[in-house]
Amino acid sequence: MSSGFKILRRDFTSRGRLGAFPTIHGTFKTPVFMPVGTQATVKAMTPEELEDLGVEIILCNAYHLHLRPGAHVIKELGGLHGFMNWKGPILTDSGGFQVFSLTPLRRITEEGVTFRSHVDGELLFLDPEGAVRLQFDLGADIAMCLDECIPYGAPPRYVEESTMRTIRWASRSKAAASSLQGMALFGIVQGGTDLDLRRRSAQALVDMDFHGYAIGGLAVGESLQERLDMVEAAMEVLPEDRPRYLMGIGLPEDLVTFVGMGGDMFDCVVPTRCARTGLLFTHDGRVDIRHSEHARSNKPLDELCGCYTCRNYTRAYLRHLHMCKEILGVRLNTIHNLHYYMELMAELRKAIEDNRLAQYQRDFFNNRDTDGWDNTQWDRKEGQD
Amino acid sequence: MSSGFKILRRDFTSRGRLGAFPTIHGTFKTPVFMPVGTQATVKAMTPEELEDLGVEIILCNAYHLHLRPGAHVIKELGGLHGFMNWKGPILTDSGGFQVFSLTPLRRITEEGVTFRSHVDGELLFLDPEGAVRLQFDLGADIAMCLDECIPYGAPPRYVEESTMRTIRWASRSKAAASSLQGMALFGIVQGGTDLDLRRRSAQALVDMDFHGYAIGGLAVGESLQERLDMVEAAMEVLPEDRPRYLMGIGLPEDLVTFVGMGGDMFDCVVPTRCARTGLLFTHDGRVDIRHSEHARSNKPLDELCGCYTCRNYTRAYLRHLHMCKEILGVRLNTIHNLHYYMELMAELRKAIEDNRLAQYQRDFFNNRDTDGWDNTQWDRKEGQD
């Protein structure tokens, strides 16, 4: 099976690579950051604004959309593309992470997972075949296998049992997707912090031949060193000619690091969620716009930034909007943070093209305060954007 | 004193008139609807989006901006125009309505009003001179005199005392503004439901010669007939060559009615606030987007509407966004409702130009269900947008 993924260039100074992934809704360049649009909207943004920022692919969430408004409703209305008016590629998460992080009650069996809706408490059941069908009905360009995202610190025996079950679920997912046209399917490597299990998980998926491979179970509480090791173990096994997607990653520091290890695809709620809490990414590091030091500042948020927000508004105005809980504040912050992320990815792609990714990484880490990078405060907890 | 206001055309079928009011930030055409941007932002909208909708002047609120971030801060940062990046004219409300509707404790004396901030409880004092200065520091193109908005149903004796005090405050406001360049000042007619007092209030202000005249104390609980009578009484006295501003008005039905009685300027939170609660204005009447009948509707909100929302999204998607409390839903609803209001005003101006406003009014009321127009549920309660 060919995924259509093409590697266009390799960086000689790292394991970074430049690629292109074609879908019927257009080709996206890798390494790519996918903004999260859980409920068929990247919070506070229109599709046109995303396009203007250079966003090429977004992520939506099968679990949330299954609950509201229902995949059948979205299918009737032309799939996610018609429903939300986004014309580019869409990757959908299978819902596994949300089932395991959001729902109050759940029971996992070999067959699938029974859980209660976090919206209205309805008892629901999801199995690997259903998750594939759900994503197909949503009109996903790339679907993910149903997996279990193992909690950090789970007992070794549970980690192994769960990882093996996720592998069996991947096999069932692949069989279910075999008759569905136009949708790529990615397997998800699990294995917790057990590096040997990570390698076995990756190998089992590679043997099944997916269009791409995700590394799951990251950013759930592990230390930075553990995370690096977990990614490294999977990378040793995953094939060169398929995209590698690091789910739920990450902070700017993560992106710079993992692109150098051969990561191709990333998604994270950090830029959009932090925008809503007033935490903003700049070339000088992070700015908490709530701080009183910005109350009278007529400076733009980031003097090196060319985004709409930085071209038109002061820190004082952004702080005012945030303190007054004004929607425009969320909009301006989101535009800025997403612009920062998209620019960072463009710089990383350019550095690969120019064979200077290692140098870029050194400069990046030398020029900033990375306090808090190795810190679980940033980890995913809720499976919502 | 000349306000620079010019009447360009009169409708022979009504008392409607077409005018133009010049300010140093540009000339706006009347009759005009001013979207409300209480806290230096029309909720959920960028200045460019307002411009695209044809908005020519917005209203900001001196009381709210005095509390947060403070008029001195906004002054330092280039006034409201620089602060919020809106290039057109700005009218500021003096803060009187907010002091009387929002603050938990207040004491009115001849000198001014002492009140507690609704944000942090700080004890504050505002007098007519201070309110003028505040609005000048904010960089208002049009400032309003400090007035007391009399509660509906107040005892006749209180109504008279308050109205007379508001007249004395207008005189002090005018004196305070005499040395301030580039800012127009409007007096505000009060008088409650007492029509004779309304006339006396209007006459006293006319004798002082303001750049324009507002009719205040509307939409606070009075019946439709009372409101019509209150406006009529003031209109009898106000001069033809000055703009008449109906504060806090109104619903589309109000705009169509009062433009025909010679109203020139209007502001109301209805289009923006209703957008946030999912109540939308269409050519078929009002649509509550929460209703389940829209859950699978692939129709645009309003098939006769050319706004961004109606061109690109279905009722099903708007309902989904609303049910999920997504910011994009508020944005799309606000764009639609403001577009509806701006189109309505453009149609009213065109009808005046074509000498057919009376016919326009008949068609407007014949083609719609106006249930609920004569209903105090729409009245202003909080002095916030």
CATH number of A240's domain: 3.20.20.105
Residues of A in contact with B327 (CB under 8 A): 43-44, 327, 330-331
Q: What is the domain count for chain A? A: 2
Q: Within this chain, do residues A215 and A240 fall inside the same structural domain, yes or no?
A: yes
Is B150 part of a structural domain of the chain?
A: yes
Q: Report residue A236 as tokens.
A: 């040793």
Q: How confident is the model at residue A183 (pLDDT cuts 50, 70, 90)?
A: very high
Size of interface A-B (CB pairs under 8 A): 99
Closest residue in B to A69 (Cα) is: B320
Q: Within this chain, do residues A345 and A219 fall inside the same structural domain, yes or no?
A: no
CA distance A59 to chain B (A): 16
Closest CA to A346 of A252, A227, A236, A220: A252
Q: Report residue A168 as tokens.
A: 């069996």
Check residue B19 and give its pLDDT: 98
pLDDT value at B1 more than 60: no
Q: Within this chain, do residues A227 and A338 fall inside the same structural domain, yes or no?
A: no
Give tens-digit pLDDT for A122-171. 899 999 999 999 999 999 999 999 999 999 999 999 999 999 999 999 99
Q: Within this chain, do residues A287 and A322 fall inside the same structural domain, yes or no?
A: yes
In whole angstroms, what is the distance from residue A311 CA to residue A295 CA?
18
**DSSP element (H, E) containing A158:** helix A156-177
Is A9 part of a structural domain of the chain?
A: no
In whole angstroms, what is the distance from residue A140 CA to residue A135 CA?
6
Give tens-digit pLDDT for B256-314. 999 999 999 999 999 999 999 999 999 988 999 999 999 999 999 999 999 999 999 99
Q: Annotated catalytic, B267? A: yes
CA distance B69 to chain A (A): 6
Q: Within this chain, do residues A259 and A287 fall inside the same structural domain, yes or no?
A: no
Q: Which three-class secondary structure state does DSSP give residue B314? A: coil
Q: Which domain range does residue B292 map to? A: 275-363
Q: Within this chain, do residues A88 and A55 fall inside the same structural domain, yes or no?
A: yes
Of A214, A244, A268, which residue sits at a domain end? A268
Interface test with chain A among B326, B335, B336, by most A beta carbons within 10 Å: B326
Residues of A in contact with B328 (CB under 8 A): 41, 43-46
Closest CA to B40 of A96, A322, A149: A322
Q: Is A312 on the interface with B (CB under 8 A)?
A: yes
Q: Is A240 on the interface with B (CB under 8 A)?
A: no
CA distance B25 to chain A (A): 18
pTM: 0.96
pLDDT value at A102 more than 80: no
Q: Which residues of A are catalytic?
A: 93, 267
Interface test with chain B among A312, A317, A325, A334, by most B beta carbons within 10 Å: A317
Instruction: Using DSSP bridges, classify how beta strands A113-116 and B6-10 pair: parallel, antiparallel or unpaired.
Output: unpaired
Average of per-residue pLDDT values in chain B = 94
> What are the φ/ψ torsions at residue A82 (nearest 5 degrees)?
-70, -40
Mean pLDDT of A366-384: 67
> Across the interface, which of B39, B77, B327 has its CB nearest the CB of A316?
B77
3-state secondary structure A42-69: CCCCCHHHHHHCCCCCEEEEHHHHHHCC
Q: Give one DSSP letter per residue of A344-372, joined into a string.
A: HHHHHHHHHHTT-HHHHHHHHHHTS--TT
Is B380 part of a structural domain of the chain?
A: no
Check residue A376 and give its pLDDT: 61
Check residue A371 and give its pLDDT: 60
Give tens-digit pLDDT for A254-305. 999 999 999 999 999 999 999 999 999 999 889 999 999 999 999 999 999 9
Cβ count within 10 A of residue B280: 26
pLDDT value at A103 more than 80: no
Give tens-digit pLDDT for B31-66. 999 999 999 999 999 999 999 999 999 999 999 999
Q: Is A247 on the interface with B (CB under 8 A)?
A: no
Strands of B155-232, DSSP E? 184-189, 212-215
Check residue A118 and give its pLDDT: 86
Give tens-digit pLDDT for B312-354. 999 999 999 999 999 999 999 999 999 999 999 999 999 999 9
Q: Within this chain, do residues B39 and B129 fall inside the same structural domain, yes or no?
A: yes
Q: Within this chain, do residues B280 and B159 fall inside the same structural domain, yes or no?
A: no
Q: Within this chain, do residues B205 and B343 fall inside the same structural domain, yes or no?
A: no
Q: Annotated catalytic, B93? A: yes
Q: How confident is the model at residue B241 (pLDDT cuts 50, 70, 90)?
A: very high
Mean pLDDT of B166-177: 98
Check residue B268 and give its pLDDT: 97
Q: Report residue A315 as tokens.
A: 């820190």
In whole angstroms, what is the distance from residue A80 CA to residue A148 CA?
25
Does the distance separating the beta carbons of B83 and A324 come in below 8 Å? no
In whole angstroms, what is the distance from residue B174 CA to residue B197 CA?
21
Closest CA to A94 of A136, A123, A55, A57: A136
Residue type, B279: L
pLDDT value at B246 more than 60: yes
Is B91 part of a structural domain of the chain?
A: yes
> Across the interface, which of B39, B84, B313 has its CB nearest the CB of A85?
B313
In whole angstroms, what is the distance from residue B35 CA to residue B32 CA?
10
Q: Is A325 on the interface with B (CB under 8 A)?
A: no
Share of chain B above pLDDT 70, in %: 96
pLDDT value at A60 more than 90: yes
Average of per-residue pLDDT values in chain A = 94
Check residue B384 and give its pLDDT: 66
Of B268, B289, B318, which residue sits at a domain end? B268
Is A107 part of a structural domain of the chain?
A: yes
